[in-house]
Amino acid sequence: MRDHVKRACAATVATAAAMALTAGMTGPASAQRNGPLRPGDTGARATGTAQEHHRITLITGDRVTVDAKGRAVGFAPAKGREHIPVRTHRSPNGHTLVLPADAQRLVADGRVDQRLFDITELSKKRNRAAQSKGLKVIVGYQGSAQADAKADVRAAGDTTVRRSLKTLNADAVTTPKQDAGDLWKALTGERGGARTTASGIAHVWLDGTRKATLDKSVKQIGADKAWNAGYDGKGVKIAVLDTGVDATHPDLKDQVAAEKNFTGAADAKDRFGHGTHVASTVAGTGAKSGGTFKGVAPGAKLLNGKVLDDDGFGDDSGIVAGMEWAAAEKADVVNLSLGGGDTPGIDPLEATVNKLSADQGILFAISAGNDGTPGSVGSPGSADAALTVGAVDDNDKLADFSSQGPRVGDGAIKPDVTAPGVDITAAAAPGSVIEKQVGQNPEGYLTISGTSMAAPHVAGAAALLKQQHPDWKYTELKGALTASTKPGKYTPFEQGSGRIAVDKAIEQSVIADPVSVSFGTQQWPHTDDKPVTKKVTYRNLGKDAVTLGLTLDATGPKGDPAPAGFFTLGADKVTVPAGGTASVDLTADPKLGAALDGAYSAYVVASGGGQSVRTAAAIDNEVERYDVTLKFIGRDGKPTPNHQSSFSAITGADKGLNLFPNDPSGTDTFRVAKGSYLLDSAIYVDPDNGDKGVDWLAGPTLSVDKDTTITVDARTTKPVDITGPDPSADLAFLDGRYSYEGYEMGALNISSFQSMRTAHLGPEVPKGLGQQWLGTWRKGADTRYDMLIGGEVKKLATGYTRHLKRADFATLKVGMGASSPGRTGALSVAGYLPLAGGISPILPAQKLPRTQTVYVSALDGVRWGIDFDQYGDKNADGDPAWDGAYRMLPEPFTAGRAYAKSFNTGVFGPALGKDRGGIFREGDKLGGSLAVVADGKGHTGWSAYASAKSTLYRDGTKIAENGDPLTGEETFTVPAEDAAYKLTTTVKRDPKVAAVSSRVDASWTFRSKRVTGQTQLPASTVRFTPELDLRSRAAAGATQSVPVEVQGSAAGAGNLKSLAVYVSYDAGRTWQKTPVRGGKISVKNPAKGKGIAFRAKVTDKGGNTSTLSVYDAYYGK
């Protein structure tokens, strides 16, 4: 059994914890909702609830603003944590950690889940939805102090226990976000001067979200022959823990013995469609098809545990509770067709699988996952006890989506077996999400693919064996199914022992225990390696002795035969006594593979007595690696554990690996592949107060080509001295950061630059290294100075001095509009240099409308972007709730010059053009990704809406509609053939959110057919830009000239065929055509308190038309 990550040095290759849908949808061409579809690189977002920026509250109570790409762009410490330093660590894989100093060692020790600080993971749509009513975590307990620990957790603010998980000795708890800091205090403490979990606390995990991952396939695994032998699963209970089961389907009528709902859905019925398909593959009777689509074990009874909700999602604690319920209901076999990213440690789902298997003998058949790449087998299929299932097609060809081993962390063999998982036809849940997406064919059934479809074949096969052998537990069932497989031309890391063959398994009396043999990793170099011998042990479950002849088939890292003698057997036959065991030596001689590093594997095939036993074996001949020792020295010259550090592989076999050394001794040693590494380290005088001193040392290109010792010595640093232009302004925020090769490192939550000292480690960097310094000073409520300086460097600064003057800044007068009375708002101002992005403080919201003076530095080629946020009422966490946000893309400014900018004023409407999205087709997916309610200055963003509807017509016939206002979250699936299309969208905004531009209608016509890749379709719009105040008003009754701008395919010389504009003063009941002269229309402003509406119709030279109507475009005053 594998252990947790190495003590004091957590190793991660950041993985997604949200479960991947392990079913790939296939079906006939039809107009159905699908999604998402977005332009390749527009950065555009549109109206709706999907904000471009959002806010994450960490378990410490600190708050982080996150952009659409999962990057930290704003930060505010929790009350009482204003002096605890924070590091940001962004990897090339797109994941950003925001890790306070008092959490790093707990993460490194494996006591606290790193995902709790992975803002990219926490920002995923489903995780945000799951955590919207509070932070959800799983707290594990241990030792004599656990009763007190439980009481302290329950007393932390308004923390509530959602469910207790006996298998884990844990509670799943929810705490309001404003109480997160109280929970953190209850979970942590200090011993011996070091931060640790509180007495009685064993682990703290994110209660993450997980998502769901038949005729010829049943015969393919030999189930029909098992039926003929009298085995159909009768008397066996199989728990299907999934999205629920439609027990009214003819194939599942009277098949469900018990059900329970572990989600927030109303009941255990399947409205997603995944669980019904899985259940009928396991134990469907085939009644509706006359037996054609009969499941593997039609005589078995099902336990319907709904652990995934009506959208296909569920939380970890609900899945654990479902497993415990299945055990209490005496399930013999449990099917889990769900899976997600694995980590080196043991997560709650893996721990539960292992414990229930060992304690109660339950067999868990679990899908491997649909990533399809080496090292991608997901959790909980990565559990030791799991029978982990990959997928093959009906010709036993490995599916390209089937996840492969080795297992993360220890290189063990996974998956264990394969089973049919491509184009599997099984019961459809009428009206469910999947049924709507792929359609029924034939009636009552649907066809989908994935390792989700493979796992229930194995669960059903296990039920047949359980009926045959009622006394067999998971070890025997797993052993017989893996021993009797049909081999494919693949390695153990791709297929385990092979594709299951239950007709062979029912004849099996001899199994291997364990089912595979791992020799672990042999340290490089291999020229002096010694042979390693392991035992292959056979158990005879029958009544007669069996003599087995042994053969060996070995493969090298590239799929070629391994060198002769690399694997050898100690005997060519073995006799296994009835009811007993016998072993044979299997020896690996890694020295014979010294010419080619990598994984070597083998199959030992034992044949005799009318049966054969296949056992997979593997050894990892380590690639060229060396020991690296890091020694951390404080300002006092003594070794110190008071640091936050990371060691990241830039090149070599470990590329993408991130280590976080944090041994209490101040010295860490670990082994890494030859290559170039980035070392980042912040050494603290006091880790609970960064203001007492932070020494930041970094080496972006440290070479490892031998055993290496690196001393990180705070005494080599020099001071940072940066000052702003106005001594009377208060420093509100500072950040130092650098970027290299996709990594971006930052230092937050330090109240003065003078507290920081820096030093560069190692050689110069030829190119690509960027360093920046950011500061925000505030003077009163409406004046601020934002500074970003730096650029490309050869070496990071060893000390840095710069004193800025007012002459170094440009002046921005920024109007902050109010789309309705009673709103508040705030600005986020972020600078961008060529090699790094910006971050800004989270400042308090202020009453709208208002104008702020923003001074921005205009040095070093910096560009500045501004985000405007409008807030309404407070949310459940006590924070202002976003109801609108608009973004100014980064642009340069000139020192000494003044500029005027404004946000959130009319006329709102669609915006097209560069960086603004459009209408797209990709294959047979068609939809929009644009800002339907961009503000009057053309800033894209989003707005809360009361209702939205988008409708697609094909050759004049309505074929589909959805509730997405063309944000790209939803699309339409259309036939391949050329046709004329019309796409319409309507957005209505609540008057409390936006009295101005309260309704926007838009439509586009065009022709389209199937395309390769993504293609932007011709679409136009019209923008109206009258002079308005910050409440979107103009002088009542006055006449003004309103600029009219055509954007999109009709814009530009020669592209416009026709343009007609209309105005209405009675909410669109009547319209007056208004001539456009010189790009403007002349209108009389509406009466005081009344609105005006605009309508336009534009046709481009290709005959594609676009219409736009904006109601209450602006008001009279």
Query: Which pLDDT value is given to residue 47?
Result: 28
Q: How far apart are CA 363 and CA 387, in angstroms?
A: 7
- Please report which confidence band the pLDDT of residue 36 belongs to, taking 50, 70 and 90 as the band edges: very low
* pLDDT above 70 coverage of the chain, percent: 94
The Cβ of residue 230 has, within 10 Å, a number of other Cβ atoms equal to: 12
* Phi/psi of residue 858, nearest 5 degrees: -125, 55
For the stretch 1052-1107, pLDDT in tens is: 999 999 999 999 999 999 999 999 999 999 999 999 999 999 999 999 999 999 99
- Which residue out of 102, 182, 232, 242 is catalytically annotated? 242
Q: Judge whether residue 914 has pLDDT over 80.
A: no
Q: Judge whether residue 50 has pLDDT over 50.
A: no
Q: What is the pLDDT averaged over residues 1003-1019?
A: 94
Q: Judge whether residue 29 has pLDDT over 70.
A: no
What Å distances lie between residue 179 and 141, 156, 434, 594, 1046, CA to CA? Answer: 21, 7, 39, 57, 50
- Please report which confidence band the pLDDT of residue 341 belongs to, taking 50, 70 and 90 as the band edges: confident
DSSP label at residue 499? B
For the stretch 937-984, pLDDT in tens is: 999 988 999 999 999 999 999 999 999 999 988 999 999 999 999 999
With b for 16 or more beta-carbon neighbours within 10 A and e for fewer, the 913-922 pattern comes to: beebbbbbbb
Q: Judge whether residue 1004 has pLDDT over 60.
A: yes
Q: What is the pLDDT averaged over residues 302-323?
A: 95
Looking at every residue in the chain, the average pLDDT score rounds to 91
Instruction: Assess contact for 628 and 647: CB atoms under 8 A.
Output: yes
Angle between helices 474-483 and 451-468 (to 10 degrees): 110
* The CATH number, out of the four listed (3.30.70.80, 3.40.50.2300, 3.30.559.10, 3.30.70.120), of the domain defined by the range 58-209: 3.30.70.80
- Which residue out of 289, 317, 367, 452 is catalytically annotated? 452
Query: Which pLDDT value is given to residue 345?
Result: 86
Is 469 labeled as catalytic in the residue annotation?
no
Q: What is the pLDDT averaged over residues 279-291?
A: 96
- Please report which confidence band the pLDDT of residue 877 belongs to, taking 50, 70 and 90 as the band edges: low
Q: 212-468 maps to which CATH number?
A: 3.40.50.200
Is 376 labeled as catalytic in the residue annotation?
no
Q: Judge whether residue 2 has pLDDT over 70.
A: no
- Which residue out of 89, 249, 274, 939 is catalytically annotated? 274
> In sequence order, which residues have a C-beta less than 8 Å from that of residue 483 and are 6 or more positions away?
497, 505, 508, 510, 511, 512, 515, 612, 613, 614, 615
Is 274 labeled as catalytic in the residue annotation?
yes
For the stretch 457-512, pLDDT in tens is: 999 999 999 999 999 999 999 999 999 999 999 999 999 999 999 999 999 999 99
- Please report which confidence band the pLDDT of residue 6 belongs to, taking 50, 70 and 90 as the band edges: very low
For the stretch 159-213, pLDDT in tens is: 999 999 999 999 999 999 999 999 999 999 877 666 789 999 999 999 988 777 6
Range with the poorest average pLDDT among 12-16, 28-32, 437-441, 770-774? 28-32
Which residues of 152-275 form beta strands (DSSP E)? 160-165, 170-175, 188-191, 194-197, 201-206, 209-211, 237-242, 256-261
Tokens read off for 1058? 């026709």
Q: How far apart are CA 326 and CA 334, in angstroms?
A: 7
> In sequence order, which residues have a C-beta less than 8 Å from that of residue 879 and are 6 or more positions away?
55, 177, 178
Element (H, E) at 150: helix 146-154
Query: Which pLDDT value is given to residue 878?
Result: 67
Instruction: Assess contact for 509 and 541: CB atoms under 8 A.
Output: yes
Output the DSSP codes for 83-126. Answer: TS-EEEEE-TTS-EEEEEHHHHHHHHTTSB-GGGGBHHHHTSHH
Q: Judge whether residue 49 has pLDDT over 60.
A: no
- What residue spans define the domains of the chain? 58-209, 212-468, 909-1116
For residue 794, is it left (φ>0), alpha (ψ between -120 and 50) or beta? alpha
Q: How far apart are CA 137 and CA 139, in angstroms?
A: 6
In the chain, the N- to C-terminal Cα span, in Å, equals: 74
For residue 808, is it left (φ>0), alpha (ψ between -120 and 50) or beta? alpha
